[in-house]
Amino acid sequence: MSFDAAAYDAFYRLSVDDPHTFWATQAKRIDWHKPFTKTLDYDKPPFAKWFVGGETNLCYNAVDRHLATRADQAALVAISTETDTEITYTYAQLYAEVNRSAAMMQALGVRQGDRVLIYMPMIAEAAFAMLACARIGAIHSVVFGGFASNSLATRIDDATPVLIISADAGSRGCHVTPYKSLLDEAIALAQHKPKHVLMVNRGLAPMKMVPERDIDYATLRAKHLNAVVPVVWLESNAPSYILYTSGTTGKPKGVLRDVGGYAVALATSMDLVFCSKAGETFFCTSDIGWVVGHSYIIYGPLLAGMTTILYEGLPIRPDASIWWSIVEKYKVTRMSSAPTAIRVLKKQPLELLQKHDLSSLKTLYLAGEPLDQTTSDWISGVLGVPVIDNFWQTETGWPTISIAKGVGDKPARSGSPGQPLYGFKGKIINEETGEECAPNEKGVVVIEGPLPPGCLQTLYGDDERFVNTYWRNFKREAYSTFDWGIRDADGYYFILGRTDDVINVAGHRLGTREIEESISSHPNVSEVAVVGVENAIKGQCAVAFVILKNAAAATPEDAHKLETEIMKVVDKRLGPIGRPSHVYFVTALPKTRSGKLLRRSIQAICEGRDPGDLSVIEDPAALQQIRAVLVTS
Ligand code: AMP
């Protein structure tokens, strides 16, 4: 494709200068039961309403509308190297399963607007459940299976679901996690009690069913084999789902998305960002518990009439050729993954990556964390395809900064995900003054309102928190990504890490406060600071500095025992993804005179960097202690 810079820029300019015209054109990519009367209502900033008055349905657009032309084409391929299963569902079969799932939900009392919490491993039933919710206008809230009971309980209390759908267990690297007992514990902890729990039995772990409340999926499904559940047409701005993400406080934020805007944004991105065509196969290696899984395992590829791969398992089991065997077998054209996974693969024998015919693959997209040039060059060389870095967030729902190869073949720039994509009015702002930064000056990456379709509408049940969190600076005209960045003279963005206390472990976003709160629940912990420290494979790792209530960690044996106990507490409350890689014991933590914990200084010391302005520290000896424990451990 030849590159016409002027045309690329003109396309972008139209999207931000005249969003009405731009998005009204893109909206034709999906089917509307009733046309919208207003493309954008931005009368109450920062709340943007897209395609007002229009009626549509995500499930209809992802499933039903393909039946006329591709009923027998594979829609969903569910592969598990944990259970050695591989099942293909055509669009016709997917339609039948989604209808069964919708009928089951209705039989259990789920109505339009009700929340359904999905706590499931990467199995096809999870996809059916998401689509079934979309079909009947119920709001799904998928909670990542790696989360333990405490995190799950917080989400149950926030979403107050009528129904929870789960399974006996998940499995990762043959390690079985009993979801049912974690769920029972979470329901016991939560104030809100769901009326029903629908359980898929995979035969991986014993399940104790609670009479009346717990229902067996297979038994109920058998009663609804021929179900046809009419699509509920929803106003474009009706809620489609809640997805919780970490913030600076321990309370997770429930990102709420709409129906029409999300459908249009995804359908457009499948074409312009992912250059994908109906009938092709898309393989996104994420998990349905994350936004990438929502957008590019489930909704995006299905809206585009593609075959999507749902993969449960590790990238290196049975060996590091597994992903590539999937690419060969299903003729995957576009693949989406995260840099951490690629760094894991880099440690594997090269021949495993090269033994399959990868000629179908055209592009690899990487997102979720900073992509280093070495990793990018290595995988691009091995696969012989271009690698496209794309920056986005749970909140934005689809890539925000990248290169829209479907618009034009704009060249990439080393270390940069690219430029703000069509629809996103990106800027770098000086944190103190709110003024736009000069080229190459570090500032906060913000997006000027209105946010384009597909982005969060608000935080579930908390408009005030939405405004106060994301729009509190820059005269409330711009959404903060909470990422530092710079823009070079040609408009390429470079992302320099979070401005808040959120860390990114293997592409998973965690709030240091959440981890600190779980560590604080250990009876012998008096104070704790958690920071994210650079890690060669995972990008970042959590490291904890703990002040004990008594000096029980006097000996190395005591310290080791306590460290193990604290890690177990985190595993139990948050799940293993939150577990710190190290726990160090200190008697003081560096704080400002006003008592604010100086996480950034601690982090700098852990990474061997300058801790910054020390005049703000109340007790400089506390920093010395951090240095000392790192040296002696
Ligand atoms: P999440 O909401 O879990 O998807 O995490 C979003 C955060 O991940 C962003 O705010 C960034 O800090 C980081 N992130 C995502 N994609 C990239 C990327 N391509 N380059 C650098 N950081 C990224």
Q: Is the CB of 391 under 6 A from ligand 1?
A: yes
Residue 481 near ligand 1, beta carbon < 6 Å: yes
Structure-model confidence comparison of residues 630 and 226, the more confident one: 226
**Confidence (pLDDT) at 514:** 82
Question: Where among 407, 424, 448 does a domain terminate?
Answer: 448
If we measure between CA atoms, which residue out of 42, 48, 175, 195 comes closest to residue 108? 195
CA–chain centroid gap for 441, Å, is 29
CA distance to 416, 541, 606, per residue, from 612 (Å): 26, 21, 13
Neighbouring C-beta atoms of residue 12, cutoff 10 Å: 23
Same domain, 152 and 300: yes
Residue 250, domain CATH: 3.40.50.12780
Is 226 inside any structural domain? Answer: yes
**Omega of the bond leading into 420 within 30 degrees of 0 (cis):** no
Nearest 5 degrees, angle CA 516-CA 522-CA 525? 70
367 C-alpha to center of ligand 1: Å? 7
Q: What is the pLDDT of residues 305-328, one digit of tens each?
A: 999 999 999 999 999 999 999 999
245 lines ligand 1 (CB under 6 A): yes
pLDDT tens for residues 21-74?
999 999 999 999 999 999 999 999 999 999 999 999 999 999 999 999 999 999
Do 528 and 437 share a structural domain? no
Average pLDDT of the segment spanning 496-500: 83
Average pLDDT, the chain: 93
The distance between the two most distant Cα atoms of the chain, rounded to a whole number of Å, is 72
Lowest mean pLDDT of 217-221, 256-260, 296-300, 571-575, name the range. 571-575
**Mind listing the pLDDT tens digit for each residue in 362-397?**
999 999 988 888 899 999 999 999 999 999 999 999
| pLDDT at position 593 | 66
Using a 6 Å cutoff on CB, does residue 132 contact ligand 1? no
Cβ 470 vs Cβ 412: under 8 Å:
no
Element housing 339 (H / E): helix 339-346
Domain final position from 424, 448, 472: 448
How many Å apart are CA 193 and CA 163, to the nearest integer? 9
Q: Does residue 8 carry a pLDDT above 90?
A: yes
User: Residue 581 burial by CB count (10 A; 0-12/13-18/19+): exposed, middle or buried?
Assistant: middle
Q: What is the pLDDT of residue 509?
A: 81
The predicted pLDDT at position 615 comes to: 64
The reply to whether 110 falls in a domain is: yes
95 and 126 Cβ atoms separated by less than 8 Å: no
- Whether residue 518 is contained in a domain is answered as yes
Say yes or no: CB of residue 389 within 6 Å of ligand 1.
Answer: yes
As a whole number, mean pLDDT of residues 540-555 equals 82
| pLDDT exceeds 70 at position 552 | no
617 located within any domain: yes
What residues does 391 pair with on adjacent strands? 401
Which residue, judged by its Cα, is nearest atom 22 of ligand 1? 369
pLDDT of the residue at 527: 83
| 285 and 431 within one domain | yes
**Pairing between strand 139-142 and 115-119?**
parallel
User: Ligand 1 center to residue 368 CA distance, Å?
Assistant: 4
- Residue nearest atom 1 of ligand 1, based on CA coordinates: 393
Task: Report how many helices (DSSP H) and strands (DSSP E) the chain contains, helices first.
Answer: 21, 32
Q: How confident is the model at residue 597 (pLDDT cuts 50, 70, 90)?
A: confident
Distance 370 CA to ligand 1 centre (A): 7
- Mutation probe of ligand 1 site: the residue of 244, 393, 455 with most atoms within 8 A of C-beta: 393
Residues 6+ apart with CB under 8 A from 101: 125, 128, 129, 131, 132, 221
First to last CA, the chain: 55
* Same-domain pairing of 432 and 516: no
- Full 3-state SS string of 206-222: CCCCCCCCEEEHHHHHH
pLDDT tops 70 at residue 595: no
Confidence of residue 616 (pLDDT cuts 50, 70, 90): low
**Residue 188 sits in the same domain as residue 119:** yes
Per-residue pLDDT at 423? 98
Mutate to test the pocket of ligand 1, among 284, 288, 295, 483 (most ligand atoms within 8 A of CB): 483
Nearest CA to ligand 1 atom 4: 393
132 is a domain residue: yes
Does the CB atom of residue 495 touch ligand 1 within 6 A?
Answer: yes
Closest CA to 459 of 279, 222, 247: 247
Cα 125 to middle of ligand 1, angstroms:
28
Report pLDDT digits (tens) over 341-363: 998 898 899 999 889 999 999 99
70-95 average pLDDT score: 98
Q: What confidence tier does 476 reach under pLDDT thresholds 50, 70, 90?
A: confident
What is the position in ligand 1's atom list of the atom closest to the CA of 290?
3
Give yes or no for a contact between 112 and 278, defined as CB atoms under 8 angstroms apart. no
- Residue 510 shares a structural domain with residue 441: no
Confidence of residue 594 (pLDDT cuts 50, 70, 90): low
Q: For the chain, how many structural domains are there in total?
A: 2
Find out whether the beta carbon of 26 lies less than 6 Å from any atom of ligand 1.
no
The answer to whether position 187 is within a domain reads: yes
pLDDT over 90 at 549, yes or no: no
Last residue of a domain, one of 402, 431, 448: 448
**Residue 558: what pLDDT?**
82
Pocket test for ligand 1, best of 253, 291, 387, 391 (most atoms within 8 A of CB): 391
44 occurs within a structural domain: yes
Residues 444 and 515 placed together within one structural domain of the fold? no
Q: Are residues 533 and 441 in the same domain?
A: no
The 3-state DSSP class for residue 68 equals: helix
Token reading at 30 = 């999906």
CB 140 within 8 A of CB 59: no
pLDDT tier for residue 623 given thresholds of 50, 70 and 90: confident
With a 6 Å cutoff on the Cβ, whether 55 touches ligand 1 is no
| 474 domain-assigned | no
Residues 220 and 303 in one domain: yes
Q: What is the CATH number of the domain that holds 600?
A: 3.30.300.30
Name the residue of 369, 372, 481, 498 to mutate for ligand 1: max ligand atoms within 8 A of Cβ. Answer: 369
Residues 6+ apart with CB under 8 A from 612: 600, 601, 604
Q: How confident is the model at residue 2 (pLDDT cuts 50, 70, 90)?
A: low
The mean pLDDT of 251-255, rounded to a whole number, is 90
Who wins on pLDDT, 506 or 102? 102
613 pLDDT tier (thresholds 50, 70, 90):
low
Provide the domain limits for residue 593: 502-632
Query: Ligand 1, closest atom to CA 394?
Result: 2
Q: Contact, 342 vs 314, CB < 8 A?
A: no
- pLDDT confidence of residue 399: 98
- Say if residue 1's pLDDT is above 60: no
Please say if the pLDDT value at position 551 is more than 80: no
Based on the fold, state whether residues 31 and 114 are members of the same structural domain. yes
Q: At what angle do helices 260-272 and 19-26 cross, to 10 degrees?
A: 80
Q: What is the pTM of this model?
A: 0.91
112 and 9 share a domain? yes
Mean per-residue pLDDT, 189-205: 98
What percent of the chain clears pLDDT 90, i.e. is strictly above it? 76
- Asked whether residue 428 falls in the same domain as residue 510, the answer is no
599 lines ligand 1 (CB under 6 A): no
pLDDT grade, residue 504 (50/70/90)? confident
Residue 250 confidence (pLDDT) above 70: no
What percent of the chain has a predicted confidence (pLDDT) above 70?
97
